[in-house]
Amino acid sequence: MARRRHVRPNTGALAYSTEPGRTDRSGHLDDRFHGGTCNPSLFRRREKGGSEEPLDHALGRSRGGLTTKIHMVCDANGVPLRFILSAGQASDIAHAQPLLDQVRISGKPGRPRKRSRWLLADKGYDAEHLRQYCDRYRMQPVIPLRAMPRKPRPGLPRLFDLPKYRQRNIIERMFGWLKENRRIGTRYDKLARSFAAMVTLACSLRCMRQYFSYKT
């Protein structure tokens, strides 16, 4: 992924649900590595001790070379709600709370809701501050531990709802569809805002397919 910058997807994912047994108005968060071919004139070998990529490029060096990471949240139907771009080596958990703060869940008349009842995440989001964030907004986190401790921790363990956690496949399928779009699966844009525009366009098409039917 040095010159061609092919996509290397990450496996982290996170989701919401409003009430037990239902997945409407739910959200799912994920982050993926994306890259693409670039003009050879734009590619320069980084000298030892040289500067990193500019912030407005949202490019960073991770396993495989220069990559961009998309942090995204979607509802239970796989409709994207909000996304953030970052450099490929950026931590997943560092962008979880800023992304969740931007979510607006439309529904009944009035102000859109910002929170859901459930928060599903893979072990990449196993952080105590994220669990405290969920407690503060009365969301139930369903997050597996990175490693099971040999000795049980004091107090009652947090409930892990395995059937609910399996709904995380929604975000996986949503990203599978998103990456079928060539400008998303392979990044051709130099600036982050240009790549974000392509992601926004693909998300708009996803929303139109979900909420508008061509059938008569």
Nearest C-alpha neighbor of 64 from the set 129, 1, 119: 1
Q: Is residue 47 part of a domain?
A: no
**Residue 164, domain extent:** 13-41+53-151+159-211
Quick one: tokens of 92? 């997943």
Indicate the number of domains in the chain.
1
Whether the CB-CB separation of 93 and 125 falls below 8 Å is answered with yes
87 within some domain: yes
- Whether residue 109 is contained in a domain is answered as yes
The span from the CA of 187 to the CA of 210, in Å, is 25
Dihedral sign, Cα of residue 140, residue 138, residue 10, residue 106: positive
Per-residue pLDDT tens digits for 45-64: 444 444 467 777 888 877 76
pLDDT at 137: 86
Question: Rounded to whole angstroms, how far apart are CA atoms 8 and 6?
Answer: 7
pLDDT digits (tens, 9 = 90+) for 157-207: 466 788 888 888 888 888 888 888 888 888 888 889 999 999 999 999 888
Average pLDDT score over residue span 12-41: 44
What pLDDT score was predicted for residue 46? 47
What CATH number did the domain enclosing 135 receive?
Answer: 3.30.420
Per-residue pLDDT averaged across 148-154, rounded?
A: 57
| Residue 54 contacts residue 65 (beta carbons within 8 Å) | no
Verdict on whether the full-model pTM lies above 0.75: no
**The pLDDT of residue 214 is above 70:** no
Q: What pLDDT score was predicted for residue 186?
A: 85
Could you report the per-residue pLDDT of 101-146, keeping only the tens digit for each? 888 877 677 776 777 788 888 888 888 899 899 888 888 888 888 7
In a domain, 120, yes or no: yes
In a domain, 3, yes or no: no
Pairing verdict, β 65-74 and 80-87: antiparallel
Residue 6 belongs to a domain: no
Helices (H), the chain: 96-101, 128-136, 162-165, 169-178, 182-185, 192-211
User: Would you state the pLDDT for residue 199?
Assistant: 93
In a domain, 4, yes or no: no
pLDDT of 37 above 90: no
Most confident of 23-27, 59-63, 68-72, 76-80: 68-72
Question: What does the pLDDT read at residue 7?
Answer: 41
The span from the CA of 139 to the CA of 52, in Å, is 38
Q: Is the pLDDT of residue 81 over 80?
A: yes
Higher pLDDT, 51 or 31: 31
pLDDT at 9: 39
Lowest mean pLDDT among 25-34, 39-48, 185-194, 205-214: 39-48
Residue 7 lies in a domain: no
